[in-house]
């Protein structure tokens, strides 16, 4: 029998093409050859264990494998390196499982942003849980002073006894909303670094933060409709986003903000007051054909702030411009023609004051307001057609337009401002339509050639008692002859 086995083993060695074989090799060869020789035959032929006296095992230690948090380990074992017999079987050791840490804060919550925290394994540092930390409740500054507004339904706020460097204004005081920053309410508070306003604030009073020369961080909530004159004059703010709830930016609002580099002006802004950006020496403008514009991502040319070259003779304001700032073209004495795009709704105060060479201007039928003094001292202006979209003609709008001989006021106009046509010495006739509810004082003073044709039968109560101070002849109940 032994002989037969030996022959068979030798045969197998030949089949496998291996000439030298240890006891280990042969075991492997037998396993490989089972594909060629049927297993059933082999089972009959081969003994389970080689004879004990054949060799002394060469013991090899199978080292233990330590379990980790997620993987099983093994105990130490032994096998024979010659016959592969397992002498001590390696046992599976269960995985350890993670060891949870306490909560670890990744980002502290603030009053404006959620924070985050996590639990990790103290062994493998795997992140096991993540959670957000809710925003901190806004704790309003103490010592602020509140003044009941005239509507008796809301409050205005001022610095009072507060000494915080980071001012937080509450939404509500005494059960009523805080809607205004009091005029000059925080003026010259040099210790204020930041101001947080609730979105109940609708009006930032004139001079509210004027002279707060440490004030760097301001977020204007999108409840604000109106920013009063000089509100941020001389502050240290570096960038401002005007929310699209704002329609009007008062005079000098950001003047002398020397660190101000960027400002976003939304298309909602119809009117930009005088000298708003005076002394803002770091401010980056968008330039278009010598005009300096400010705007927003979608429309960088939303607001024409000023024109660099006062010697220009003609200029086309690009389509898309919503407003031109106070005095943008003042004293462009060589300017003869200018086109106003249909994207504009408002001709700002003093926009073309003292453009003494300006002969004609076409006002597009998108304009609703002609600002105060818009064409004052335009002494060459002969004809102006006011489209029937205009509802207001501001005070001094055409004062001293000494060549103006022809003007038509459409039936949409409700208001003619103080001294609007004062000194229009060439004007011989003007028809006041019945729609005009209010006329300011001295509207036609010094119009030495003028006869006024009024569609109404008599002076309306909304007309100033001094509306026709220099007693120009008036035809009442005018119907077009």
Question: Hey, what are 210's tokens?
Answer: 């004027």
**168 forms bridges with which residues in the sheet?**
196
How near is the Cβ of 87 to Zn ion at its closest, in Å?
A: 9
Q: Which of 172, 219, 217 is closest to 197 using CA atoms?
A: 219
| Closest to Zn ion by CB, 5 or 148 | 5
Stretch that binds Zn ion, among 24-32, 49-57, 320-328, 428-436 (CB under 5 A): 49-57
246: three-class secondary structure by DSSP: coil
CB 345 within 8 A of CB 322: yes
Burial of 416-436, coded b for 16+ CB within 10 Å and e otherwise, reads bbbbbbbbbebbeebebbebb
Stretch that binds Zn ion, among 77-85, 164-172, 304-312, 362-370 (CB under 5 A): 77-85
Q: Is 59 in the site for Zn ion (CB under 5 A)?
A: no
For helices 23-33 and 2-16, give the axis angle rounded to 10 degrees.
Answer: 70
| Closest to Zn ion by CB, 99 or 110 | 99
How near is the Cβ of 58 to Zn ion at its closest, in Å?
A: 6
Q: Which residues contact 458 (CB under 8 A, 6 or more apart)?
A: 476
Q: Which of 274, 279, 277 is closest to 251 using CA atoms?
A: 274
From 21, 46, 60, 69, residue interacting with Zn ion (rule: CB under 5 A):
69
Stretch that binds Zn ion, among 35-43, 97-105, 221-229, 409-417 (CB under 5 A): 97-105
Stretch that binds Zn ion, among 108-116, 118-126, 132-140, 291-299 (CB under 5 A): 118-126
How near is the Cβ of 200 to Zn ion at its closest, in Å?
A: 49
Rounded Cα gap, residues 9 and 18, in angstroms: 11
Stretch that binds Zn ion, among 67-75, 298-306, 327-335, 425-433 (CB under 5 A): 67-75
Number of residues that bind Zn ion (CB under 5 A): 9
| Closest to Zn ion by CB, 69 or 334 | 69
From 12, 26, 79, 83, residue interacting with Zn ion (rule: CB under 5 A):
83
| Closest to Zn ion by CB, 123 or 434 | 123
Question: Hey, what are 273's tokens?
Answer: 């007051």
Q: Is 123 in the site for Zn ion (CB under 5 A)?
A: yes
In terms of phi and psi (left: phi > 0; alpha: psi -120 to 50; beta: otherwise), the region of 266 is beta
How much of the chain is in helix, strand and coil states, percent to nearest 5?
A: 5, 25, 65
Q: Which residues contact 379 (CB under 8 A, 6 or more apart)?
A: 356, 400, 401, 402, 403
How near is the Cβ of 126 to Zn ion at its closest, in Å?
A: 5
Rounded Cα gap, residues 151 and 178, in angstroms: 12
Rounded Cα gap, residues 50 and 420, in angstroms: 122
Q: Which of 379, 395, 432 is closest to 410 using CA atoms?
A: 432
Q: How far is CA 251 from CA 231, 248, 271, 317, in A?
A: 9, 10, 10, 23
| Closest to Zn ion by CB, 78 or 213 | 78
Q: Is 82 in the site for Zn ion (CB under 5 A)?
A: yes
Stretch that binds Zn ion, among 119-127, 131-139, 354-362, 462-470 (CB under 5 A): 119-127
| Closest to Zn ion by CB, 95 or 148 | 95
How near is the Cβ of 49 to Zn ion at its closest, in Å?
A: 10
How near is the Cβ of 81 to Zn ion at its closest, in Å?
A: 7
Q: Is 121 in the site for Zn ion (CB under 5 A)?
A: yes
Q: Is 257 in the site for Zn ion (CB under 5 A)?
A: no
Q: What is the helix (H) or strand (E) element at residue 423, kind and residue range?
A: none
Site string for Zn ion, 98-117 (x = CB under 5 A): x-------------------
From 15, 124, 148, 434, residue interacting with Zn ion (rule: CB under 5 A):
124
Stretch that binds Zn ion, among 94-102, 291-299, 393-401, 409-417 (CB under 5 A): 94-102
Q: Is 57 in the site for Zn ion (CB under 5 A)?
A: yes
Q: Is 79 in the site for Zn ion (CB under 5 A)?
A: no
Q: Is 128 in the site for Zn ion (CB under 5 A)?
A: no
Binding site for Zn ion (CB under 5 A): 57, 69, 80, 82-83, 98, 121, 123-124
């Amino acid at each position: 029998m032994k002989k037969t086995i030996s022959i068979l083993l030798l045969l197998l060695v030949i089949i496998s093409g291996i000439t030298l074989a240890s006891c280990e090799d042969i075991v492997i060869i037998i396993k490989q050859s089972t594909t060629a020789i049927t297993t059933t035959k082999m089972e009959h032929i081969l003994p389970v264990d080689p004879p004990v006296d054949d060799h002394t095992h060469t013991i090899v230690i199978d080292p233990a494998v330590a379990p980790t948090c997620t993987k099983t380990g093994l105990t130490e074992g032994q096998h024979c390196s010659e016959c592969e017999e397992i002498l001590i079987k390696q046992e599976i050791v269960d995985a350890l499982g993670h060891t949870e840490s306490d909560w670890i804060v990744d980002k502290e919550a603030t009053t404006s942003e959620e924070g985050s925290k996590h639990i990790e394994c103290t062994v493998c540092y795997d992140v096991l849980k993540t959670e957000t930390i809710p925003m901190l409740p806004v704790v309003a500054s103490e010592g602020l002073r509140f003044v009941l507004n005239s509507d008796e339904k809301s409050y205005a706020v001022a610095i009072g006894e507060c000494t915080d460097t980071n001012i937080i204004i509450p939404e509500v005081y005494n059960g009523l909303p805080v809607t205004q920053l009091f005029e000059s309410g925080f003026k010259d508070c040099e210790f204020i670094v930041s101001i947080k306003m609730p979105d109940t604030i609708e009006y930032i009073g004139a001079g509210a933060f004027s002279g707060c020369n440490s004030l760097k961080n301001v977020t204007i909530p999108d409840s604000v409709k109106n920013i009063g004159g000089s509100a941020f004059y001389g502050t240290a703010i570096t960038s401002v986003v005007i929310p699209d709830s704002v329609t009007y930016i008062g005079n000098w609002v950001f003047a002398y903000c020397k660190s101000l580099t960027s400002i976003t002006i939304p298309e909602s802004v119809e009117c930009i007051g005088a000298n708003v950006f005076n002394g803002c020496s770091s401010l980056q403008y968008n330039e278009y054909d010598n005009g300096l514009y400010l705007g927003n991502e979608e429309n960088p040319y939303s607001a024409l702030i000023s024109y660099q070259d006062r010697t220009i003779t003609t200029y086309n304001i690009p389509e898309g411009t919503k407003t031109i700032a106070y005095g943008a073209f003042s004293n462009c004495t060589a300017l003869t023609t200018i086109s106003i795009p249909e994207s504009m709704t408002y001709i700002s105060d003093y926009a073309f004051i003292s453009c003494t060479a300006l002969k004609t201007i076409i006002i597009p039928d998108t304009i609703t307001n002609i600002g105060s003094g818009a064409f004052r001292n335009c002494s060459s202006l002969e004809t102006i057609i006011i489209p029937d979209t205009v509802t207001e003609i501001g005070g001094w709008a055409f004062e001293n337009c000494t060549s103006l001989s022809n003007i038509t006021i459409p039936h949409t106009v409700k208001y003619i401002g103080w001294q609007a046509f004062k000194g229009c010495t060439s004007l011989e006739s003007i028809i006041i339509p019945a729609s005009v509810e209010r006329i300011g004082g001295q509207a036609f003073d010094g119009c030495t050639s003028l006869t006024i044709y009024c569609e109404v039968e008599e002076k309306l109560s909304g007309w100033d008692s001094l509306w026709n101070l220099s007693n120009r002849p008036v035809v009442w109940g005018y119907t077009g002859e």
